[in-house]
Amino acid sequence: MFKSSIKGKKVAILATDGYEQVELTEPKRDLEKAGAKVDVLSIKPGQIKGWDKTDWGKSVKVDHLVNDVRPTDYDALILPGGQINPDKLRTDRNAVAFIKQFVESGKPVAAICHGPWGLIEADVVKGKTVTSWPSVHTDLKNAGAKWVDKEVVQDGNIITSRRPEDIPAFSKKIIETLAKTPALAKAS
């Protein structure tokens, strides 16, 4: 499905309980198929539980706590949506600081659905053209972003998408962007 190879790239997915299940699992699967190593970061250890449309879904293993890693450890960051997950993350100072530092690094940061709430809290959307779940558009406008209704939007290093149905386009854009960026220098 995805022609680009991103072998050797490291991607972080930042989430906590209540992430929209497919918005974490499908991009993770797509990136791994394209050759990336994907770590799940969270604000709590162990496992985090997904939300599957109308009820609790499956859990995924947390690889690292967000305060134990740095943006320099990764080539890209993904922020899945769901209503619960990004709302919890935007109240965690370590998660918000990580998002802000990642965006400021110039490396790709991709957020889907309600995931842009983290970008708003990190104060990094002013002047950016973005998309999101429709109910988040006023929050984005109030934060100084230009909101558009498209399946995927890229403005500089920020990639945004609207909903689970847009995941194929979302994953494709992340992979294409990662394929164009150099891999992290290996630490000696």
The amino acid present at 5, given as its one-letter code, is S
User: What CATH number is attached to the domain comprising 25?
Assistant: 3.40.50.880
Give the residues of the chain that fall short of pLDDT 50.
Answer: 185-188
Count of domains for the chain: 1
Q: CA-CA-CA-CA torsion for 71, 8, 165, 83, nearest 10 degrees? A: -30
State residue 7's pLDDT score. Answer: 92
Residue 27 lies in a domain: yes
pLDDT at 184: 61
41, 113, 158, 159: the catalytic one is: 113
Q: What residue spans of the chain are helical by DSSP H? A: 21-33, 84-89, 93-105, 116-121, 137-142, 167-179
In a domain, 4, yes or no: no
Output the pLDDT for position 5. Answer: 80
Per-residue confidence (pLDDT) for residue 2, from 0 to 100: 59
- 66 within a domain of the structure (yes/no): yes
Instruction: Answer yes or no: are the C-beta atoms of 93 and 118 closer than 8 Å.
Output: no
For residue 67, what pLDDT is reported?
96
**Residue 157: inside a domain, yes or no?**
yes
CA 119 to chain centre: 10
The answer to whether residue 188 is domain-embedded is: no
Residue 186 domain-assigned (yes or no): no
Residue 113 catalytic? yes
Say what the pLDDT of residue 188 is.
29
The predicted pLDDT at position 181 comes to: 84
pLDDT at site 182 = 75
Query: 72 in a domain, yes or no?
Result: yes
Residues 6+ apart with CB under 8 A from 98: 14, 41, 66, 67, 69, 71, 77
Phi/psi for 2 (5° steps) reads -110, 120
Ranges of H-type helices in 134-185: 137-142, 167-179
Active site residue 114: yes
What's the whole-model pTM score? 0.95
- Domain span at 128: 10-179
| Active-site residue identified among 9, 114, 137, 162 | 114
Residue 119 falls inside a structural domain: yes
What integer pLDDT is reported at residue 151 of this predicted model? 98
Q: So what's the pLDDT on residue 186?
A: 44
